[in-house]
Amino acid sequence: MSSDEESGNFRSPESELESMVETLQTETPSAPEINGMVKDGDTAYAEINNNKTTLKSREVILTGIDDLLISRGARLILFLPIVVVLLFGLSQSYRGSEPDWWEGGVQELFLDFSFSKSVYLLALALMVADLMLLFVLHYLLWVTKRIFQIETDEIVDTGVTFRSSHGYSEMKAVIDGASNQLNLTTTLMILSTLLLGLSLITNPSETEGIPVLIALSTGTLLSGHSVYMVSNRPRFNTVEPWGLLDAFSPPMHPALLNKPFTDVIRSHVDPLLAVRFSKYVSSFSQNLQQGVRLSELQEYLLQVLDLFRSGLIEEDDFHQALGELVDTRTIDQIINHPELGEETLDRLLMHARDRCAPFFRLNDRMRMHLSTQSDEKIWFDVDMENLTLGQANLFAFVLNQTGETQDLILRVQTPDFRPNECVYRLKAEPHADDSLSGKATYERVSSSMSSSRIIWQTLVPSSMGDATVTVRLEDSSGNLISGKVLTSQVRSDLFTRLRMTTGAVFMFGAVLAIISPVLPFVANLLGL
């Protein structure tokens, strides 16, 4: 596989989004008024806007319940089915007999029901409670999908082909997949609840062995919980501006980073937030200092914010750095915006750090390199995940400090990942670090990042276990300048393995529970 930095065949997500924003900002000619058409359109728009506001309010409440009781906090959706299974086992252990303490007077408090039937009734109540929680999740997911649809339609109505944008179909597939998983889990839990209720109505104490309905109820209960455990449904919402980030995984990204921070972060931002943020930043186009472009503002803002959050510069330095591009009033607008301000930017940085940690480690190492005296004419460094879960992100930084333009070749070779070999041809312009002597940290880092050639290569593991990657930096004649060998452990993370194992155990238990009523019959046939 070969790549040339002069190639213009790849259209980056950034350029795609900028074209969308340009379309959004373009005013379309107004249509002629025909019999109150404009008035009807305004009414329809107001109704949609009111509907979205109502849905947003409901989503806030439902998300709070989800955080407190269901997916986080108490995590009842996870533990209630387990408690029900334990109650099933307890009830079966006392079929045909009663504990002494139960007959002593407690039984009268439960309408003279047997201990076994009372436990089953308690299990039924917990199953109904679990169903109520699932219905809350269903309603929350429906509200989120509806808001997402409304906001998508708002962008599409402006003339933007948003549904064809970078990552939209993949994100929609994740949202629909979460809905399908929840539908299957709910269906199995409803079936289990109905089977248990039916078994209690038919008085199972009069049957011998394990009642068929109880066995089927147990099996469907375990199956439903197994589906929930294995599926790993992502949590997303539209309450926070960054609420859809976990529902998005970048289907593509630029290989050569021209605006490193912008390229990395934008690649992990969901399309809806990306368009909103780009449109928001573009609103400051009239406030830029002469000669400054919007893309430079975005990149510089993310760089200095990363330095500020890392504790490397003070707040005064942060404002001073941005003051070189925009005025003080604009800085306050950027930082203090209620939706797309400082908190959202922090979330985007944290999200990118979590997904592309090697890039930020290399950025830190470059900063340390700039602070020390070095005789390296070409500073070259690479990094990737030490533990690969799913896919690996390989980053390579090349900083030319020779004073002359260098034609370089970067080779990535590995027998354990796909693609096995990648070749990049780079034209590295000289970086004049001497002219930055005595300058502030953010100025030196920004200048070095702009002068660096940065490669981002995604590697897909071919197998589990130890894996190696060799990266060579060569001159135009193929002579080795520097080389790096990286090692990584390829495996699933502990949480995933635990989740899959638990799901498999529950599914195995479901099979045993379903076939248990026929086991005695089969044994008799076999003479066992």
pLDDT in tens, 305-356: 999 988 888 888 888 888 888 888 888 888 888 888 888 999 999 999 999 9
Is the pLDDT confidence value at 461 over 60?
Answer: yes
**Which of 428, 426, 423, 418 lies closest to 490 in space, CA to CA?**
418
Answer whether 299's CB lies under 8 Å from 261's CB: yes
| Shared domain check, 295 and 182 | no
- End position of a domain, from candidates 354, 385, 412: 354
**Which of 226, 201, 225, 228 lies closest to 213 in space, CA to CA?**
201
**Tally of domains within the chain:** 3
Is the pLDDT confidence value at 421 over 60?
Answer: yes
**Model confidence pLDDT, tens digit, residues 337-346:** 888 888 899 9
Q: Which residues pair with 257 in a beta bridge?
A: 454
| Shared domain check, 204 and 99 | yes
| Shared domain check, 223 and 289 | no
User: Which amino acid, 115?
Assistant: F
CA pair distance 268, 225, nearest whole angstrom? 31
**Which of 126, 131, 139 lies closest to 61 in space, CA to CA?**
139
Report the pLDDT value the prediction gives residue 440, as an integer from 0 to 100.
77
Q: How confident is the model at residue 296 (pLDDT cuts 50, 70, 90)?
A: confident
CA pair distance 17, 278, nearest whole angstrom? 7
Q: Is residue 31 part of a domain?
A: no
**Which of 406, 418, 429, 430 lies closest to 482 in space, CA to CA?**
406
CATH no. for residue 468? Answer: 2.60.40.10
Task: Mean pLDDT check: name the lowest of 51-60, 168-177, 189-198.
Answer: 168-177
CA pair distance 524, 180, nearest whole angstrom? 42
CA pair distance 322, 331, nearest whole angstrom? 7
Is the pLDDT confidence value at 63 over 80?
Answer: yes
Residue 55 corresponds to which tokens in the numbers above? Answer: 């849905």
CA pair distance 386, 401, nearest whole angstrom? 29
Residue 30 DSSP class: P
Answer whether 478's CB lies under 8 Å from 420's CB: no
User: Can you say whether the dihedral through the CA atoms of 175, 176, 181, 183 is positive or negative?
Assistant: positive
Report the pLDDT value the prediction gives residue 426, as an integer from 0 to 100.
94
| Shared domain check, 467 and 402 | yes
| Shared domain check, 128 and 227 | yes
The number of beta carbons lying within 10 Å of the beta carbon of residue 134 is 21
Answer whether 251's CB lies under 8 Å from 276's CB: no
What is the average pLDDT across 260-285? 87
| Shared domain check, 181 and 47 | yes
Report the pLDDT value the prediction gives residue 486, as an integer from 0 to 100.
95
**Model confidence pLDDT, tens digit, residues 187-202:** 999 999 999 998 888 7
Report the pLDDT value the prediction gives residue 337, as an integer from 0 to 100.
84
Average pLDDT, the chain: 83
Q: Is residue 24 part of a domain?
A: no
Q: Is residue 526 part of a domain?
A: no
Residue 103 DSSP class: I
**Which of 307, 251, 279 lies closest to 441 in space, CA to CA?**
307
Q: How confident is the model at residue 431 (pLDDT cuts 50, 70, 90)?
A: confident
* Whether residue 260 has a cis bond before it, omega within 30° of 0: no
Edge to edge, the sheet with strand 387-388 lists 2-4, 421-428, 406-413, 465-475, 480-490, 387-388
3-state secondary structure of 520: helix
| Shared domain check, 190 and 311 | no
Report the pLDDT value the prediction gives residue 7, as an integer from 0 to 100.
41
The segment with the largest mean pLDDT, out of 25-39, 135-149, 166-180, is 135-149
Q: Which residues pair with 475 in a beta bridge?
A: 408
Residue 318 corresponds to which tokens in the numbers above? Answer: 């942060």
Residue 417 corresponds to which tokens in the numbers above? Answer: 């990942």
Q: Which residues pair with 470 in a beta bridge?
A: 413, 485
CA pair distance 163, 154, nearest whole angstrom? 12
Is the pLDDT confidence value at 118 over 80?
Answer: yes
Of 11 and 479, the one with more pLDDT: 479
Q: Is residue 468 part of a domain?
A: yes
Q: Is residue 98 part of a domain?
A: yes
**Half-sphere exposure in the Cβ direction for 167 (13 Å, CA):** 26
Residue 228 corresponds to which tokens in the numbers above? Answer: 């929930």
Of 438 and 81, the one with more pLDDT: 81
| Shared domain check, 183 and 93 | yes
Answer whether 151's CB lies under 8 Å from 272's CB: yes
| Shared domain check, 146 and 54 | yes
Report the pLDDT value the prediction gives residue 8, as an integer from 0 to 100.
40
Residue range(s) defining the domain that contains residue 444: 356-491
| Shared domain check, 196 and 65 | yes
| Shared domain check, 225 and 91 | yes
Report the pLDDT value the prediction gives residue 38, as an integer from 0 to 100.
45
| Shared domain check, 446 and 424 | yes
Answer whether 313's CB lies under 8 Å from 442's CB: yes
Q: Is residue 507 part of a domain?
A: no
Of 99 and 82, the one with more pLDDT: 82
CA pair distance 176, 163, nearest whole angstrom? 15
CA pair distance 493, 103, nearest whole angstrom? 50
CB neighbours of 310 closer than 8 A, spacing ≥ 6?
A: 364
What is the average pLDDT across 2-10? 45
Q: Is residue 503 part of a domain?
A: no
Answer whether 422's CB lies under 8 Å from 1's CB: yes
Q: Is residue 21 part of a domain?
A: no
Report the DSSP pairing between strands 480-490 and 387-388.
parallel
Is the pLDDT confidence value at 208 over 60?
Answer: no
